[in-house]
């Protein structure tokens, strides 16, 4: 009897359908390809098992290195270990592209944050280094100096 997988472990069907249809359409001259529900389920389950196997192998590699966080190199080594070395180069290229895009976003966010900080400084010079002029706002200011009466 087949083991029924809880829904929480299933991959999103729409994403699986889109990935499979995109790949099939790239290798086929025919137009729109339809997938039978059972075929979609088979692709989804196969992908889930592959991801589980790859992550378990990467986790083992990580533990052998006495670390608790799986990194990209662990995944590359796991792909080699489970005999999928042809995935490594495309994955490295994708990861490099992703990191470059992310670096651009982070740099843009840092510039925006710096410009915002500069604008706030120009508007309120007393807000330098994040300090607020509490007396100006009518708030009591605690005096930490000891009383020498």
pLDDT at 83 over 90: yes
Contact of 42 with 23, CB cutoff 8 Å = no
Residues 17 and 66 in one domain: yes
pLDDT score, position 86: 97
Could you tell me the two tokens for 72? 């990209």
pLDDT at 120 over 50: yes
Residues 79 and 116 in one domain: no
pLDDT score, position 133: 47
Alpha-helical runs (H) found in 65-87: 72-81
Print the domain residue range for 94. Answer: 86-125
% of the chain residues with pLDDT over 90: 48
Residue 49 main-chain phi, psi, to 5 deg: -65, -40
Whether residue 133 is contained in a domain is answered as no
Contact of 79 with 55, CB cutoff 8 Å = no
pTM, two decimals, is 0.62
Residues 69 and 16 in one domain: yes
Could you tell me the two tokens for 3? 């083991």
How much is the average pLDDT of 138-146?
Answer: 52
Rounded CA separation 63/130 (Å) = 43
Contact of 17 with 47, CB cutoff 8 Å = no
% of the chain residues with pLDDT over 70: 77
Residues 78 and 94 in one domain: no
Residues 17 and 78 in one domain: yes
Contact of 35 with 17, CB cutoff 8 Å = yes
How much is the average pLDDT of 104-111?
Answer: 79
Kindly state the helix (H) or strand (E) to which residue 16 belongs, with its residue range.
helix 13-27
Residues 78 and 39 in one domain: yes
pLDDT at 125 over 70: no
- The CATH number linked to 50 is 1.10.20.10
For 57-66, how does the pLDDT look when each residue is reduced to its tens digit (9 = 90+)?
999 999 999 9
Residues 79 and 95 in one domain: no
Residues 78 and 93 in one domain: no
pLDDT bucket at 23, cuts 50 / 70 / 90: confident
């Amino acid at each position: 009897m087949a083991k029924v997988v809880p829904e929480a472990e299933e991959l999103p069907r729409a994403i699986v359908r889109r990935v499979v249809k995109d790949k099939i359409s790239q290798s086929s001259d025919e137009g729109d390809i339809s997938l039978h529900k059972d075929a979609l389920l088979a692709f989804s389950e196969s992908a889930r098992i592959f991801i589980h196997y790859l992550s378990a192998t990467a986790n083992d590699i990580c533990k052998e290195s006495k670390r608790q966080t799986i990194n990209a190199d662990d995944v590359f080594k796991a792909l080699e270990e489970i005999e999928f070395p042809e995935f490594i180069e495309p994955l490295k290229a994708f990861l490099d592209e992703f990191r470059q895009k992310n670096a651009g976003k982070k740099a843009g966010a840092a510039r925006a944050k710096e410009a915002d900080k500069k604008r706030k400084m120009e508007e309120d010079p007393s807000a330098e280094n994040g300090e607020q002029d509490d007396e100006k706002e009518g708030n009591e200011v605690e005096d930490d100096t000891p009383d020498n009466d």
